[in-house]
Amino acid sequence: MKINKNITMLTIALEGERAMHPVLLRDDENLVLIDTGYPRHTSQIAEAIAATGQPLTHIILTHQDIDHVGAVTRLMALFPDVKVLAHEDEAKYMDGTATPVKLAAALARYEGSTSGEKLEIDKYAERFSEIRFKVDQTLRDGEVLPIAGGIEVVHTPGHTPGHMCLYLRGSRLMVLGDSAGVADGGTLTDFNPIYIQDIELARKSIQKIMTHPIAGFLGHHSGYTPIS
């Protein structure tokens, strides 16, 4: 979906999957991808990038979860000059210095799991081991990247420690990542509690998001929601 001449929301999914919505931002010199899907979605993302006629210059990641970072290493192979950016509190989970929070939670319940559950946890761990990568630039709350009309970093912990939203200043759109769900009328709601590390922090983050003048939300799972 083309939001405007500089912003495109992708819809990526294989048959039978729930769609995900990475975002492409562009200006005269840069093409920025916000989040990715799983590794298997690389070709769909690459096709969307090719359609712009520009090389990918930046990948900005809202957080560490595998459905947001899964295609990063494959895209890095396709675009060797691309720079990867993430919040300073998330980088250690992406380069393998620290265990991703959802993987750590799964490993903590490993001994009490059934053989089938242990197999799934082993597969989950293997998937993470295949997508470790170095973050080229770490970001802080309130920082504004002078590309694509100005991208403001909004640190929104709760879902993960370094989760961040991205406020697109030129269009007044907020890229939500997994910080919140979007209800009818465009109000924000708690993301599914089973996926939240700290519910109280997550709720404070929603309040923080709403301090910005917002014309619409871009959700990785909810798609585009304009605010009238």
Residue 102: pLDDT band with limits 50, 70, 90: confident
Predicted pLDDT at 180:
83
In 3D, which of 51, 54, 90, 88 has the Cα closest to residue 69? 90
Confidence of residue 199 (pLDDT cuts 50, 70, 90): confident
Residues 26 and 57 sit within 8 Å (Cβ to Cβ): no
Q: What pLDDT sits at residue 24? A: 98
Tokens of 209: 């998001």
Q: So what's the pLDDT on residue 124?
A: 87
CA distance 116 to 206: 37
Confidence at residue 36, expressed as pLDDT on a 0 to 100 scale: 95
Better-scored residue on pLDDT, 87 or 111: 87
Residue 196 has pLDDT above 80, yes or no: no
Domain around 35: 2-226
Read off the CATH number of the domain in which 147 is found. Answer: 3.60.15.10
- CA-nearest of 48, 51, 27, 50 to 36 is 48
Domains of the chain: total: 1
Percentage of the chain exceeding pLDDT 90:
76
Beta-ladder partners of 206? none
pLDDT for 147: 94
Burial 86-121 (b: 16+ CB within 10 A, else e): bbbbbbbbbeeeebbbbbeebeeeeeeeeeeeeeeb
Percentage of the chain exceeding pLDDT 70: 97
By the 8 A CB rule, do 175 and 166 touch?
A: yes
Q: Categorize the per-residue pLDDT at 187 as very low, low, confident or very high, splitting at 50, 70 and 90.
A: confident
- 190, pLDDT greater than 80: no
What is the band of 105 on the pLDDT scale with cuts at 50, 70, 90? confident
Q: What is the reported pLDDT for 193?
A: 66
Contact 91, 135 (CB under 8 A): yes
- ∠ CA(121), CA(125), CA(131), 5° rounding? 150
Q: Are 53 and 211 in contact (CB under 8 A)?
A: no
